[in-house]
Amino acid sequence: MLNRLIILLCALFAFAATNARAGYDEDLAALQQRWATIRYEMKGDEQKKQLEKLIVEADQFAQKNPDKADGYIWAGVIRGSLAEAVNGLSALGTVKDAKANLEKAIAIDPKAEDGYAYSVLGLLYSKVPSMVSFGDKKKAKELLLKGLEINPNGMNTNYFYAQFLFEDGDYKKALPYIERAAQAQPPRPPETSLAVSNRQREIRELAEKIKAKQ
């Protein structure tokens, strides 16, 4: 009788854990899809307004799951998109908050989402002006390479490093990375993920620019 009770309790705990994980994954996917819709299909003030709302949702998701890195990664990514949309000195506070969230994600799990936090953080270091904030090309390269170390064949890790090299004028070195990004297996099917389909488009566009410089 006792053994049967233990087996039943274990089954119930396993079922609850599976349901919790499924709910977590669904909430995360919804957050990512919402970001992609705002990032790629909205413009101007409406885009900024929706990104601000989504930051609140991302923060709530992260606070609800404080032991997982994903929420902090996306709280950082969404803030980065808002800073890009604002595009000016007034965005520096948002960028610093993005940096803090990405660093927290790395502290929790540096390999979360296949090193994506390192790549996004490296991009921030490469874009932010060093005169007024934390911009640092050397640090950017270090972070981007760390992302590549975790996920050497990843779509995003190779794309971000190729973009960094292109903007640095190292077109020859950028070429194999953008080609690897184009050949990479995407994290989700592009026909069901707006983020993936748009990233693949960005990869094709950057590949054309890099090849034109060869």
d(CA 18, CA 200): 32
Per residue in 120-170, pLDDT (tens digit) is: 999 999 999 887 789 999 999 999 999 999 999 999 999 999 999 999 999
pLDDT at 17 over 70: no
- Spell out the alpha helix ranges (H) of the chain: 2-41, 44-64, 70-86, 92-108, 116-127, 137-150, 155-167, 171-183, 194-212
What's the pLDDT score for residue 191? 77
Whole-number mean pLDDT of the chain? Answer: 89
Higher pLDDT, 99 or 5: 99
What's the pLDDT score for residue 11? 44
pTM over 0.85: yes
Band of pLDDT at residue 89, cut at 50, 70 and 90:
confident
Q: What Å distances lie between residue 68 and 55, 85, 179, 192, CA to CA?
A: 17, 28, 32, 25
What's the pLDDT score for residue 199? 96
Q: What Å distances lie between residue 166 and 42, 48, 106, 172, 207, CA to CA?
A: 27, 28, 26, 9, 10
| Over residues 86-96, mean pLDDT | 88
d(CA 208, CA 86): 28
| Over residues 111-128, mean pLDDT | 95
Token pair belonging to 82? 């808002």
Cβ-based burial of 76 (10 A; exposed 0-12, middle 13-18, buried ≥19): buried
